């Protein structure tokens, strides 16, 4: 049986729906009673008329009884609400301008909140879209020498951990090259986003293929089958949705692979980003512990904690460390996979979310003011209602229903705006924001919108409703619409709202100001090279077509020679890394005569393999010695250029030229490289990041890399040369895929895209807050001036000059405004501290930013006071006094 | 009036209790209920007919009684009320409470 409350609701609902019918039934019931009563009276000997009258008298008020019956049935509340809604709708139609302002303000506020929340929801709140996501962890290494955490792991660690762990249900590694994999097929060679993964990858995530199968154990062993799993998108776009696609061969990076499975359309994994192909990587028995290039994920066994797994894997890594004593990567870290994916974006998203909530708060305060002002013109109507017997609660309910109605309409429009806003964010947000593709409006977002709409309705509705319902009937009815003396309480409430608005707006402004300063600092960082006029792209030679390093080097030299002959091209170079944030690799090194005893960790530096013209192409200054030349080639003495930072660290006060260094794990029999130059510091790990030691070696002396960045310094606009450069590359070998074509200016911009997005959004919210606050103050002051017209008229009749009036009004307004500014400064000190991790070279309580924000807000508020004040000075005393 | 004494008007809560008690037997319609209470109290209690019907509707809303249209003894359509399970429980509880109350009041009056 249905619970009692449900039946009760059902009955109420029925009562409402079958209102007509219920009324008839009530009539019938009462009529029957009266008939029986009349009959009895007749039986007692009364005349028919008498009998009937006696029955009615005994009953006492049929209409009242009916009303009481209706109330007893409990439909009153719902009927009241419906009545209030109808009434509210009528009021909204009667004041279209106000309604429009309110609805638009709310729609924007709620829309922005919903849009940002949908991102917060997808990125931070929603669990990873894999079965039992809580058991998914990231496994990483800590570099003991540099103290850098969360480093990738190498083959040796992976194989050992996979085979020896006792705490995991599965462990897998991922290597996703930034520029994807070269796909050969019809048309020009192209790159597809993809990742190399170990065979256990899909098993760890617990996902199966939609068609075919995922990898089986052993698919990643040395000499295993060359197999690949592709995405639904890849299957539809590149394989034409072929139903027999499973088993088809495709060529990736010059090698033939068999498609063994197609993933479901909704499969996404944040760490492999937009990957369309997952290739089973194969592992040979490792010769050394480095290179560290594999990102490692694992699934914990049921009941195992991250800490237990960390102890287990740590012991294994220690064993691996003993096998390779010079390794500096000691400690294993195991942490939540979701946390590691969300990473840095958490703080920024929460700051943005807080900011957008503030905007809605300010909007709500504005609306409260607006309703309060309108309420004054409604005093008479409310007073009549009260006089006719409406209780205070009933009037509050009516006013709240109206504000809820506004909020609901605003919320509904806001939701529509948010749907559009989510797409906007999708386009605007930096591509490295994790899980962005998961952003959608789901039931949590809908629930949030509903809650925010209702809360804001309550917020901006409650204060005016409570104020307005506290009426002095006599005054209100007598005075009618425009009462000239406002109650002190209402005046105070208005003042409080202005103060709150000022405080909120200032907090947003300082937050935005700090973000902007930080971003300006970041974009003014000297990257150590000259990005103007340089074109960059990535080219990749096919390992199968160029099996020997010499062949690859010859082809690369040919490409450079062709490019140098192009008109408009000054220099061209190849490199394994690109500033400001595209580091290719780092390597341990040893200075001659300072070899460390075995077992002690070697220092590590970023290493960049470059062609001779690299420094000239990118405009990197040489501080000492010479740059590489074509003479520094295979067979000639091994040479090396180090960065200023490295020179300062290794050879303080000494001339580094001529010193000898070995790269890689120390080997007494390995050759030494002679330092021939010192280059200016260039950042490869991101603008504003700590400067690493960097060493450059000639690509020609160590041409193992097939995948390189190509940079070209042009005389004109670099992007105008794209077609010509591409044509020269393909003239050398038409199978070379060219990708990531950008000017270095673009590369610079993209490297700080995330910070820019946060700055733009926060700046936008700050600007909106400023406008809303100005509108709010203007509205309140304008209203006050109107209320005081009479008083001002008297003052002027008594000899006050225009300047006095102006001063009076402005002083009144600015008292409130400055209170708000003071409160806002205090609030900012507390709140901006939360932004600390986001700021670059600016303190969270930067005095200059605080002062500027306070000044800007004060100036805007002053302006908002001046306009109404000027109107006050134009009051004609004669007119106002007569008018009264 | 037959006793010549003043009749006692019923308070709301008391009326509810009497209605529930009256409905313990067979289903009844409103007029019957009023008559019956008057009869059983030997005409001491007067049921204000105007407040009887709101009380009935309130009890329905509280799920203590339920209603059904049927034929009255003189073959006319009338609305009959019947006790629900919840109503029976409430009746038992309220009766006990009433007894305790009257007992206590009687004790106080005797004591003075």
Whether A593 and A729 map to the same domain: the answer is yes
Helix H or strand E segment including B8: strand B8-9
Residue that finishes a domain, picked among A296, A327, A358: A327
Q: Which residue of B has its CA nearest to A69?
A: B54
The HSE-up count of residue A136 (CA atoms within 13 Å, CB side) is 26
Burial of A716 (0-12, 13-18, 19+ CB in 10 A): exposed
Does B29 sit within 8 Å of A72, measured CB to CB? no
Structural element, H or E, at residue A857: helix A847-873
Cα separation of A806 and A813, whole Å?
A: 11
Per-residue pLDDT of A6-37, as tens digits, reads 766 676 666 666 677 778 888 888 888 888 88
* Helix, coil or strand: residue A642: strand
Of A7, A32, A71, the CB nearest to B63: A7
What is the predicted pLDDT for the residue at A529?
A: 93
Q: Collect all residues of chain A within an 8 Å Cβ-Cβ radius of residue B7.
A: none
Burial class (CB in 10 A: 0-12, 13-18, 19+), A720: exposed
CATH fold of B8-111, please? Answer: Arc Repressor Mutant, subunit A (1.10.10)
- CA B15 to chain CA centroid, nearest Å: 5
Average pLDDT estimate for A794-820: 88
Cα A684 versus chain centre, distance: 25
CA angle A490, A77, A396 (to 5 degrees): 0
Q: For position A862, what pLDDT does the model report? A: 92
Q: By percentage, how much of chain A surpasses pLDDT 90?
A: 35
Whether pLDDT at A65 is above 60: yes
For an interface test with A, the pick among B53, B67, B71, B78 (most A C-beta atoms closer than 10 Å) comes out as B53
What is the arithmetic mean of pLDDT over A173-199? 82
Max CA separation in chain B (angstroms): 55
Is A683 part of any domain?
yes
Do the beta carbons of residue A677 and residue A626 sit within 8 Å? Answer: yes
Number of structural domains (chain A) is 4
Cβ proximity of A687 and A528 under 8 Å: no
pLDDT of A227: 93
pLDDT top residue among A143 and A824? A824
In a domain, A372, yes or no: yes
Measured CA to CA, the distance from residue A582 to residue A742 in angstroms comes to 13
Look at residue A312 and tell me whether its pLDDT is greater than 90: yes
Query: Is the domain of A315 the same as that of A440?
Result: no
Side-chain-side CA neighbours of A630 within 13 Å: the count stands at: 6
Of the partner residues A8, A32, A59, the one whose CB lies closest to the CB of residue B76: A32
Token digits for A349?
Answer: 């998203």
What DSSP designation does A801 have? -
Residue A132 maps to a domain: no
A28 and B77 in contact by Cβ < 8 A? Answer: yes
**Torsion angle, alpha carbons of A531, A537, A538, A539, to 10:** -130
pTM (two decimals): 0.72
Sign of CA dihedral B26, B30, B35, B39: positive
Same domain assignment for residues A632 and A579: yes
* pLDDT for the residue A6: 72
Backbone phi, psi, residue A527, to 5°:
-75, -10
pLDDT bracket for residue A74 (50, 70, 90): low
Could you tell me if residue A100 is inside a domain? no
What does the longest C-alpha to C-alpha distance in chain A come to? 139
Alpha-carbon span B6 to B11, nearest angstrom: 16
Question: A321 and A243, same structural domain?
Answer: yes
Mean pLDDT of A470-496: 64
Cα distances from A826 to residues A92, A848, A849, in angstroms, run: 39, 15, 14
The residue among A22, A47, A74 that closes a domain is A74
Q: Do A373 and A298 lie in a common domain?
A: no
The rounded distance, in Å, linking the Cα atoms of A308 and A404 is 52
- Are residues A803 and A675 part of one domain? no
- For residue A483, give the nearest of A556, A379, A406 by alpha carbon: A379
CB A136 within 8 A of CB A349: no
- Cα atoms found within 13 Å of the Cα of residue A4, Cβ hemisphere only: 10
- What whole-number distance in Å separates Cα of residue A249 and Cα of residue A109? 53
Query: Are A564 and A488 members of one domain?
Result: no
The one-character DSSP state at A121 is: I
Strands (E), A699-806: 707-714, 738-743
Residues of A in contact with B69 (CB under 8 A): 25
Which runs of consecutive H residues, i.e. helices, occur in A324-391? 337-342, 345-377, 379-387
Domain boundary among A51, A74, A97: A74
Q: Could B57 and A73 be called an inter-chain contact, meaning their C-beta atoms sit closer than 8 Å?
A: yes
Provide the token pair at A244.
Answer: 């027999």
Q: Where are the alpha helices (H) located in A293-333, listed in sequence order? A: 306-323
Pairwise CA distance, residues A483 & A39, whole Å: 61
pLDDT in tens, A578-598: 998 888 777 888 898 888 776
**Which residues does chain B have within 8 Å of residue A69's beta carbon, measured at their own beta carbons?**
53-54, 57
**pLDDT over 70, % of chain A:** 92
- CB-based contact A11 B29, cutoff 8 Å: no
State how far the alpha carbon of A117 is from the alpha carbons of A334, A414, A762, in Å.
Answer: 29, 12, 15
Yes or no: say if B47 and B40 are a contact pair by the CB < 8 Å rule: no
What angle in degrees, to the nearest 10, is found between the helix axes of B49-61 and A19-43?
140
Q: CA A44, CA A39: separation in Å to the nearest integer?
A: 9
Give the SS3 label for residue A283. strand
Q: Could you state, in chain order, the average pLDDT of each consecutive group of 10 residues for chain B (112 residues)?
A: 53 79 87 84 75 85 85 82 89 88 87 67
Q: Is A576 helix (H, G, I), strand (E, B) or coil?
A: coil
In this structure, are A404 and A275 located in the same domain?
A: no
Report CA-CA distances (Å) from A593 to A50, A542, A659, A863: 130, 40, 10, 72
Nearest CA in chain B to A15: B61
- Whether A509 and A571 share a structural domain: no
Looking at every residue in chain A, the average pLDDT score rounds to: 85
**In 3D, which of A292, A294, A298 has the Cα closest to residue A336?**
A298
Its ipTM equals 0.83
Quickly list H helices, B1-112: 12-22, 30-40, 49-61, 85-111
Is A104 among the domain residues? no
Phi (first) and psi of residue A842, to 5 degrees: -145, 135
> Which residues neighbour A502 within 8 Å (Cβ) at sequence distance 6 or greater?
A773, A777, A816, A817, A819, A820, A821, A823, A824, A857, A861
Model pLDDT, residue A665: 75
Whether B4 and chain A come into contact, CB under 8 Å, resolves to no
**Rounded average pLDDT over A297-323:** 91
Concatenating the DSSP letter of every residue in A422-480 gives HHHHHHHS-TTSTTGGG----HHHHHHHHHHHHHHHHHHHHHHHHHHHS--HHHHHHH-
Q: In the prediction, which pLDDT does A846 show?
A: 92
pLDDT 10s digits, A94-116: 878 778 888 888 998 999 899 88
Helical segments of A630-702, H only: 644-650
For chain A, which residues lie within 8 Å of any Cβ of chain B, measuring from their own Cβ?
4, 7-8, 11, 25, 28-30, 32-33, 35-37, 58-61, 64-65, 68-74
Q: What is the pLDDT of residue A477?
A: 56
Pull the structure tokens for residue A300: 């914990």
Structure tokens at A164: 């020896």
A284: number of Cβ within 10 Å: 10
The closest CB to that of A72, out of B49, B50, B57, belongs to: B57
The per-residue pLDDT for B2 is 41
Pairing outcome for strands A569-575 and A707-714? antiparallel
Q: Is the distance from CB of B48 to CB of A60 less than 8 angstroms?
A: yes
| A300-309, A760-769, A780-789, B85-94: segment of lowest average pLDDT | A780-789
CB contact under 8 A, A37 and B49: yes
Count CA atoms within 13 Å of residue A537 on its CB side. Answer: 21
Interface of B with A in 23-62 (CB under 8 A): 29-31, 48-51, 53-55, 57-58, 60-61
Q: A210 lies in a domain?
A: yes
Would you say A195 and A227 are in contact if contact means Cβ atoms under 8 Å apart? no
Say whether pLDDT at A122 is over 70: yes
Q: Predicted confidence band at A328 (pLDDT cuts at 50, 70, 90)?
A: low
Write out the two tokens for A420: 């559009």
Q: Are residues A487 and A570 in the same domain?
A: no
What is the rounded CA–CA span in Å between residue A685 and residue A692?
Answer: 8
pLDDT at A471: 63
Q: Note down the domain range covering A549.
A: 542-735
Same domain, A816 and A846: yes
Neighbours of A277 (CB within 10 A): 23
| Contact state of A29 with B53 under an 8 Å Cβ cutoff | yes
**Cα–Cα distance, B68 to B79 (Å, whole number):** 6
- In a domain, residue A276? The reply is yes
In this structure, the answer to whether residues A726 and A763 fall within a common structural domain is no
Whether the per-residue pLDDT at A510 is higher than 90: the answer is yes
Angle at which helices A96-120 and A753-787 pack, to 10 degrees?
Answer: 150
CB contact under 8 A, B54 and A65: yes
Cα(A821)–Cα(A498) distance, integer angstroms:
10
Q: Which residues of B65-92 are buried (b: 16+ CB within 10 A; e: fewer)?
A: bebeeeebeeeeebbbbebbeebeebbe
Q: Can you read off the two tokens belonging to residue A511? A: 């937050």
């Amino acid at each position: 049986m249905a619970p009692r409350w449900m039946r009760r609701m059902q009955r109420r609902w029925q009562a409402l729906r079958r209102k007509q019918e219920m009324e008839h039934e009530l009539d019938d019931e009462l009529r029957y009673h009266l008939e029986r009563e009349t009959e009895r009276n007749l039986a007692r000997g009364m005349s028919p008329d008498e009998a009937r009258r006696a029955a009615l008298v005994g009953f006492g008020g049929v209409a009242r009884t009916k009303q009481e019956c209706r109330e007893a049935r409990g439909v009153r509340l719902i009927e009241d609400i419906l009545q209030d809604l109808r009434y509210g709708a009528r009021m909204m139609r009667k004041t279209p301008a106000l309604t429009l302002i309110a609805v638009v303000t709310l729609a924007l506020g709620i829309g922005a909140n919903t849009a940002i929340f949908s991102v917060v929801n997808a990125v931070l709140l929603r669990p990873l879209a894999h079965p039992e996501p809580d058991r998914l962890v990231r496994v990483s290494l800590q570099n003991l020498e540099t103290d850098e955490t969360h480093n990738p792991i190498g083959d040796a660690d992976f194989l050992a951990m996979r085979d020896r762990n006792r705490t995991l249900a599965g462990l897998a590694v991922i290597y996703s090259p930034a520029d994807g994999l070269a796909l050969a097929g019809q048309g020009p060679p192209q790159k597809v986003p993809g990742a190399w993964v170990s065979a256990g990858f899909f098993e760890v995530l617990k996902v199966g293929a939609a068609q075919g199968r995922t990898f089986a154990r052993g698919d990643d062993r040395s000499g295993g089958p060359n197999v690949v799993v592709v995405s639904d998108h890849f299957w539809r776009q590149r394989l034409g949705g072929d139903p027999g696609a499973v088993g088809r061969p495709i060529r990736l990076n010059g090698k033939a692979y068999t498609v063994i499975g197609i993933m479901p359309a909704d499969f996404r994994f944040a760490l492999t980003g937009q990957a369309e192909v997952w290739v089973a990587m194969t592992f040979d028995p490792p010769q050394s512990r480095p290179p560290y290039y594999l990102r490692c994920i694992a699934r914990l066994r049921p009941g195992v904690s991250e800490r237990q797994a960390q102890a287990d894997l740590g012991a294994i890594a220690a064993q691996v460390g003993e096998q390779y004593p010079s390794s500096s990567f000691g400690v294993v870290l195991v942490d939540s996979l979701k946390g590691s994916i969300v990473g840095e974006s958490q703080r920024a998203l929460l700051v943005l979310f807080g900011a957008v909530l503030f905007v809605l708060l300010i909007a709500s305060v504005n609306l409260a003011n607006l309703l309060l002002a309108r309420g004054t013109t409604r005093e008479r109507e409310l007073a009549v209602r009260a006089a006719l017997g409406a209780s205070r609660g009933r009037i509050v309910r009516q006013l709240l229903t109206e504000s809820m109605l506004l909020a609901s309409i605003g919320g509904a429009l806001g939701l529509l705006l948010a749907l559009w806003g989510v797409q906007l964010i999708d386009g605007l947000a930096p591509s490295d924001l994790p899980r962005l593709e998961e952003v959608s409006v789901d039931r949590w977002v809908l629930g949030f919108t509903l809650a925010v709409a209702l809360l804001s309705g309550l917020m901006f509705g409650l204060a005016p409703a409570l104020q307005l319902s506290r009426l002095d009937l006599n005054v209100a009815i007598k005075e009618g619409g425009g009462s000239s003396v406002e109650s002190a309480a209402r005046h105070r409430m208005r003042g409080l709202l202005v103060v709150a608005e000022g405080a909120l707006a200032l907090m947003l402004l300082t937050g935005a100001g700090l973000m902007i300063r930080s971003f300006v600092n970041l974009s003014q960082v000297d990257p150590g090279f000259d990005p103007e006029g340089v074109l960059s792209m990535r080219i990749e030679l096919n390992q199968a077509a160029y099996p020997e390093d010499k062949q690859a080097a010859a082809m690369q030299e040919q490409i450079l020679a062709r490019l140098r002959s192009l008109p408009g091209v000054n220099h061209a170079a190849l490199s394994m890394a690109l500033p400001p944030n595209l580091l290719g690799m780092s390597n341990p090194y040893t200075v001659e005569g300072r070899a460390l005893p075995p077992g002690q960790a070697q220092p590590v530096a970023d290493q960049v393999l470059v062609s001779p013209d690299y420094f000239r192409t990118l405009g990197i200054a040489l501080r000492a010695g010479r740059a590489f030349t074509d003479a520094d080639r295979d067979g000639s003495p091994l040479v090396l250029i180090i960065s200023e930072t490295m020179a300062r660290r290794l050879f303080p006060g000494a001339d580094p030229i001529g010193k000898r260094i070995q790269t890689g794990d120390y080997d007494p029999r390995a050759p030494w490289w002679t330092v021939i130059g010192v280059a200016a510091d260039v950042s490869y790990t991101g603008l504003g990041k700590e400067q690493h030691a960097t060493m450059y070696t000639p690509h020609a002396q160590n041409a193992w890399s097939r995948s390189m960045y190509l940079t070209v310094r042009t005389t004109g606009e670099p992007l105008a040369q794209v077609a010509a450069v591409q044509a020269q590359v393909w003239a050398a070998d038409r199978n070379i895929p060219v990708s990531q074509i950008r000017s270095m200016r673009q590369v610079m911009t993209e490297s700080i895209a995330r910070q820019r997005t946060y700055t733009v959004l926060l700046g936008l919210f700050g600007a909106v807050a400023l406008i809303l606050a100005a509108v709010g103050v203007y509205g309140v002051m304008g209203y006050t001036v109107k209320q005081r017209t009479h008083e001002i008229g008297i003052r002027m009749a008594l000899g006050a000059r225009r300047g006095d009036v102006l001063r009076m009004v402005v002083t009144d307004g600015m008292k409130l405004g400055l209170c708000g500014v003071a409160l806002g400064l205090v609030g900012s000190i507390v709140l901006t501290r939360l932004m600390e991790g986001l700021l670059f070279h600016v303190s969270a309580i930067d005095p200059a930013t605080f002062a500027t924000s306070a000044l800007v807000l004060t100036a805007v508020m002053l302006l908002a006071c001046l306009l109404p004040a000027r109107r006050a000075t134009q009051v004609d005393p004669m007119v106002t006094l007569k008018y009264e | 009036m037959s006793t010549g004494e003043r009749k006692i008007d019923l308070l709301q809560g008391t009326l509810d209790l009497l209605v529930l008690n009256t409905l313990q037997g067979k289903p009844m319609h409103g007029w019957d209920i009023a008559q019956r209470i008057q009869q059983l109290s030997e005409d001491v209690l007067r049921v204000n007919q105007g407040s009887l019907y709101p009380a009935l509707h309130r009890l329905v809303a509280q799920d203590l009684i339920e209603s059904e249209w049927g034929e009255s003894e003189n073959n006319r359509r009338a609305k009959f009320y019947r006790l629900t399970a919840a109503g029976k429980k409430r009746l038992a509880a309220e009766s006990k409470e009433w007894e305790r109350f009257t007992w206590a009041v009687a004790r106080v009056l005797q004591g003075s």
